[in-house]
Amino acid sequence: MGELEIIRAGFGAEAVDYQTAWDDQRARHTARVADLVPDTVILLEHPPVYTAGKRTEPMDRPFDGTPVVDVDRGGKITWHGPGQLVGYPIVRMPEGVYVVDFVRRVEQVIIEVCADLGLHTERVQGRSGVWIPGDGLRQDRKVAAIGLRFAKGVTMHGFALNCDNDLDWYHRIVPCGIRDAGVTTLSEELGCRVTIQEVLPLVERHLGLLTEPKGAATDRVRVRPVLIAKEPRP
């Protein structure tokens, strides 16, 4: 259809219940497979919820028995909630673009957003998501998680970018089943509060990467940016 629709579904007091969003994704996915709607990316915030992908191990789940929603995406367990920007692309993959290629494209969107903010991020071989590299004092830490489902050439589920969320939620689980790395936020790394509302237009600016022709921008490399001085967080 040649267009990309971006939907801001709900944030803050209007955060979208996870099950509601999942039902909406499935309906839109069916419509996109039938070419009834254009490619779409849904951007939203969820109330606190743990979701477990198909590869989640029992030992990865909350240690205190907190309920978990089991979903049909790839990957393992993660958390969604206030202060985290979630994006669900319902996109027909461009011709010649395969599963790994599309995951790289989603990563690239977040890498570009982080670079716009003055934060250098990377991919880690063998692990999806977007990472802050370790420096000898701190281990690698993930700022954005990615978990997708591919069916009939159309994607669903997506990415979760930590803006200014409470990291204590991750202490109850093994995030993405990874025990030798950490989780972080844009606010933590930049030393100032970075809100979803600040990040939204940056994400929207780069979402066109998802639908570009094969080879157009999948593995673009950013030069390490110069960090911009910001006011410290209160």
Six token digits for residue 62: 């909350």
DSSP conformational letter for 13: G
Six token digits for residue 63: 């240690």
Q: What is the dihedral of CA 199, 201, 202, 204, to 10 degrees?
A: 120
Residue 20 backbone phi and psi in degrees, to 5: -60, -45
Task: State whether residue 108 is helix, strand or coil.
Answer: helix
Q: Can you point out the beta strands (E) in 11-153?
A: 39-44, 49-52, 69-70, 77-80, 84-90, 122-124, 127-132, 141-151
Active site (catalytic) residues: 176
Task: Report the C-alpha gap between 12 and 205 in whole angstroms.
Answer: 22
